[in-house]
Chains A and B, each alone.
Chain A
């Protein structure tokens, strides 16, 4: 068990591609940290650099107290679970799991003890004599996990381990992995592009885009207080409503018209440096009322999507379309005129050029 610290890590590939730009991150001992982002964002590259499978162009990596830059993967006391499991096809499950221990010349009885322990915990004891090539995905996954666990490493590194499983299995494995990590209390760094995995399993999420770290925080904070436009739109389903607008003091005007909004002092935004930006609000933070009653905006229902436990409405407002979530009891039809009211405490504002949140620090602290 150990902390992992990344200081100013940069990775450039031949041909000038910069996969990771100046990344600094501190992962505490026993934490479950998820590296989240779309493909190409640098999350897998970062994971591989922590493992030692790729070398950073600049920067330092520390595992525990040790600087591991010069150490090979095998010497860093980490375990890696690959996306395609990387199980040795010609060895039995038993041999696969005991492989790392035998490579280190552990005594026979110690090897047997650890393998059996791990197999029991992962419920694969009945598979020990089989060849992994014949097993279904979920079981192969667990064998790969077992091979990682049996080494009792300081850090677990996982590269999209659940991506190749089907949906129901994925849901089960999410819970299992979370429990496992809590039991073992080992630091875990986990890469995924799936935000549900990230939100449900992690202590903290590190969001990356195009090699740049966007934000590191607890799932809830990331959801409530996204620091960049990217984080705001990447996290959350359906995606946050975004309206481009001009800023004059506390007045917002939609660039395509039809949108006027005045910020209240409590909302906690500092617009002094910016004169254009993005306004954001999540679908569940908008209240709909029928007719032309008082509200922040007026519009017309375009589509209704009844999901059973909630209903999603697409509302046309001039040139925009906004998405609103309501309770299923609220029923409207296409063409109905509605007015929208925003929850003042839940609006977001981002500078147009920097795409950073304009929320002041005090506003965030006031949780």
Chain B
């Protein structure tokens, strides 16, 4: 309805008496984008690209840790050595086992906890903050104390032996159990991360979708599959990507738990630990760099796959 109002226009009450002078207007969007992006670019190039190139060139030499003496260019010998022997490949199997199960358990348990914490109850906020503490501790400390609890005469075996009456379990010496001990510690430390990410996703699902499903008499599984999961999965995927990359690089926990060779029979000697073995125990920097490079190629390929999966989850809902 348009009404011709004959009353005099009233002055708008919030007009400024002074015009605003834009400061820094000479910083156009183009210049700002340059200004904002370049520092990050430079820092990362410096810290990432430089070592990368250095390692690449080192991988083609027989360079040793001492750096004195001649460095001979030996071509692809290092790579040939690594790709034809069994041990390097086995390291990747071990890595796959540890990283795979760690991330899997962290995902399932973390998401489960998030679902529990998603309701309102007294003390929820405190409980959530306390649940985050495991990942705030120094990994060295965490691994040390778990080692203390899991060693032959430690707390775990106290209960297994003296209380339950079974034989002591060799948590850290039995080569079949060692990888699982490592997974246990990693899961304990990093599940809170997945929990946090899951909670963020869960709290973003609009409540009225659940109400509509309730009115429609949809069961709990139905609600989970068609409402919760589709909305939360991109975020879970991001959590998986970050956790996978971190678990892949992790060596300090294994180091402290079972020693720098990955325990008896190299049961937990992941690829990262193997690089340490080559470069610092055998002092072969060239070989170590080559293996490090192979590690890098593998994780880039994997990350690519995961990111593609992520984009398909985000892009086309």
Q: A82-B211, A86-B211 are contacts. A100–B218 as well, Cβ < 8 Å?
A: yes
Task: Indicate the size class of the contact surface on chain A.
Answer: 20 to 34
Q: A103-B222, A307-B1 are contacts. A89–B231 as well, Cβ < 8 Å?
A: yes
**Are A89 and B3 in touch, CB under 8 angstroms?**
no
Residue of A nearest to B5 (CB): A305
* A129 CA / B286 CA spacing, docked (Å): 59
Contacts of A104 in B (CB 8 A): 217
Cβ of B317 within 8 Å of any chain A Cβ, yes or no, is: yes
Query: Number of residues in B with C-beta < 8 Å to the partner?
Result: 25
Cβ of A133 within 8 Å of any chain B Cβ, yes or no, is: yes
Q: A99-B218, A303-B7 are contacts. A80–B230 as well, Cβ < 8 Å?
A: no
Contacts of A334 in B (CB 8 A): 6
Contacts of B6 in A (CB 8 A): 303-305, 334
Partner of B215, one of A78, A88, A304: A78
Of A15-23, A67-75, A269-277, A282-290, the segment with at least 4 beta carbons within 8 Å of chain B is A67-75
Q: A305-B4, A305-B6 are contacts. A80–B211 as well, Cβ < 8 Å?
A: yes
Cβ of A213 within 8 Å of any chain B Cβ, yes or no, is: no
**Are A133 and B317 in touch, CB under 8 angstroms?**
yes
**Are A73 and B226 in touch, CB under 8 angstroms?**
no
Cβ of B216 within 8 Å of any chain A Cβ, yes or no, is: yes
Contacts of B227 in A (CB 8 A): 88
- Over the window 1-27 of chain B, the binary record of Cβ atoms lying under 8 Å from chain A Cβ atoms (1 yes, 0 no) is 111111100000000000000000000
Which residues of B are in contact with A by a Cβ distance under 8 Å? 1-7, 206, 208-209, 211-219, 222, 226-227, 230-231, 317
**New A-B pairs, 15, CB < 8 Å, besides A74-B217, A90-B230:** A53-B214, A79-B215, A80-B211, A80-B215, A88-B213, A88-B226, A89-B317, A90-B231, A91-B226, A99-B218, A100-B216, A100-B217, A103-B219, A133-B317, A303-B7
Q: Can you list 29 A-B contacts with CB-CB less than 8 angstroms, sorted by A residue number?
A: A73-B211, A74-B215, A74-B216, A74-B217, A75-B217, A78-B215, A80-B215, A82-B212, A84-B206, A84-B208, A86-B206, A86-B209, A86-B212, A88-B209, A88-B212, A88-B213, A88-B226, A88-B227, A90-B231, A99-B213, A99-B226, A100-B215, A131-B317, A303-B6, A303-B7, A304-B6, A305-B3, A306-B4, A307-B1
